[in-house]
């Protein structure tokens, strides 16, 4: 048995959330106990299921026979089933989001945030667990409220400004981010992957492998790897990996890599997002997305 292991490790202590704090975080002490998680992503690289690649460079007709279906077809089917299942069964969830993004030529550090997300109306609360320079920073976004603005506050010297209203697409809110807060969450991630996949289905040069037995934080996942061997302007990535939680039936991790910078080099990480400790249907109310919540650090 061959195991390829790689770990993404936060510099702080082991992730721990007291069970009574998961749903509401009604006391400030509960929120302050949150720490950056240490978690491991393990890929079991043996006996993958492999879809036959489409001929290199060939355009693909959506009406092609089943025998010549695009290798992404079952992947998109799985993502759409996950989306339908979430729409039917998930009203809200909390999680720790670990993200890392490349902005220009610079790969940023890992960022860790506790998130509460409610689907209707789309509502977001985020609390930064790390890095240290952002720890304690909070943001709230509610679709159709606050004139479309984020309600947030900084930390350190930035906290002097108190509570601020920010355009989600503005320069300040988008600093250190590839995507705005309006696109955060499991639903938006899955929807974005469907859109990318459907666009890629119009082209060839696509290799897809499915690896059962992958794990995120000891949770069983199916890892799907998509590779575009040759750089083309139509492709957003060289290699992408999607992790589907076998029990929760949701996509909990996505990573994308650009082509190697030198021949024979390793793919270059462009972005990765992992949701750990996902808790579904907490019964969040308006209070969970209210700056006046006494558990939060607004003033």
Tens-digit pLDDT profile for residues 118-175:
999 999 999 999 999 999 999 999 999 999 999 999 898 777 778 999 999 999 999 9
Q: Please state, in angstroms and rounded to a whole number, the distance separating the CA atoms of residues 134 and 156.
A: 9
When pLDDT is cut at 50, 70 and 90, the band that residue 180 belongs to is very high
Cα-Cα-Cα-Cα torsion 191, 192, 197, 200, nearest 10 degrees, comes to 150
Beta bridge pairs of residue 78: none
Question: What count of residues does the chain have?
Answer: 299
- Residue 30 domain-assigned (yes or no): no
pLDDT, one tens digit per residue, over 10-51 is 332 323 333 333 334 433 434 444 555 555 676 554 455 554
3-state secondary structure of 24: coil
Q: By the 8 A CB rule, do 202 and 59 touch?
A: yes
Q: Is residue 190 part of a domain?
A: yes
* CA separation for the pair 1, 44 (Å, rounded): 8
What pTM value is reported for the model? 0.81
List CB contacts of 111: < 8 A, sequence separation 6 or more: 98, 99, 100, 128, 130, 131, 134, 176
15 falls within a domain: no
Q: Is residue 53 part of a domain?
A: yes
pLDDT tens by residue, 57-111: 333 333 444 456 889 999 999 999 999 999 999 999 999 999 999 999 999 999 9
Specify the pairing of strand 268-280 against strand 250-258: antiparallel
Strand extents, DSSP E, the chain:
3-9, 38-44, 49-51, 92-103, 106-107, 111-118, 123-130, 138-142, 150-153, 164-166, 207-216, 219-227, 239-245, 250-258, 268-280
* pLDDT tens-digit map of 184-214: 999 999 999 999 999 998 877 889 999 999 9
62 falls within a domain: yes
| Cis peptide bond upstream of 140, omega within 30 | no
Q: What is the percent of the chain with per-residue pLDDT over 90, rounded to a whole number?
A: 67
Residue 141 lies in a domain: no
Quote the pLDDT of residue 48: 52
Residue 215, CA distances (Å) to 4, 9, 156, 193, 218 in order: 11, 15, 37, 20, 5
Structural domain that includes position 211: 49-85+186-274
**Structural domain total, the chain:** 1
Whether 145 is covered by a domain: the verdict is no
Residue 225 lies in a domain: yes
CB of 213 closer than 8 Å to CB of 224: no
User: 4 pLDDT exceeds 90?
Assistant: no
């Amino acid at each position: 048995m061959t195991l390829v292991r790689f770990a993404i490790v936060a510099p702080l202590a082991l992730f721990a959330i007291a069970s009574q704090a998961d749903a509401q975080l009604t006391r400030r002490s509960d929120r302050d106990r949150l720490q950056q998680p240490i978690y491991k992503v393990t890929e079991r690289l043996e006996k993958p299921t492999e879809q036959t690649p489409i001929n290199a460079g060939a355009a693909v007709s959506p009406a092609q026979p089943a025998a010549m279906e695009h290798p992404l077809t079952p992947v998109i089917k799985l993502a759409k089933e996950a989306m339908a299942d979430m729409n039917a069964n998930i009203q809200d969830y909390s999680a720790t989001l670990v993200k890392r993004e490349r902005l220009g030529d610079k790969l940023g550090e890992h960022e860790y945030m506790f998130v509460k997300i409610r689907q209707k109306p789309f509502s977001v609360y985020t609390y930064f667990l790390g890095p240290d320079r952002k720890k304690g920073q909070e943001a709230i976004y509610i679709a159709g409220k606050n004139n479309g603005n984020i309600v947030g506050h900084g930390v350190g010297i930035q906290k002097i400004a108190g509570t601020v209203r920010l355009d989600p697409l503005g320069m300040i809110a988008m600093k250190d981010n590839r995507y705005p807060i309006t696109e955060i969450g499991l639903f938006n991630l899955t929807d974005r992957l469907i859109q990318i996949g459907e666009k890629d289905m119009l082209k060839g040069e696509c290799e897809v492998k499915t690896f059962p037995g992958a794990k995120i934080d000891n949770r069983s996942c199916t890892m799907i790897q998509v590779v575009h061997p040759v750089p083309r302007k139509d492709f957003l990535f060289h290699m992408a990996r999607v992790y589907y939680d076998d029990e929760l039936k949701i996509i909990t991790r996505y990573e994308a890599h650009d082509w190697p910078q030198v021949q024979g080099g390793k793919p270059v990480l462009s972005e990765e997002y992992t949701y750990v400790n996902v808790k579904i249907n907490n019964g969040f109310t308006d209070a969970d997305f209210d700056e006046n919540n006494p558990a939060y650090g607004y003033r």
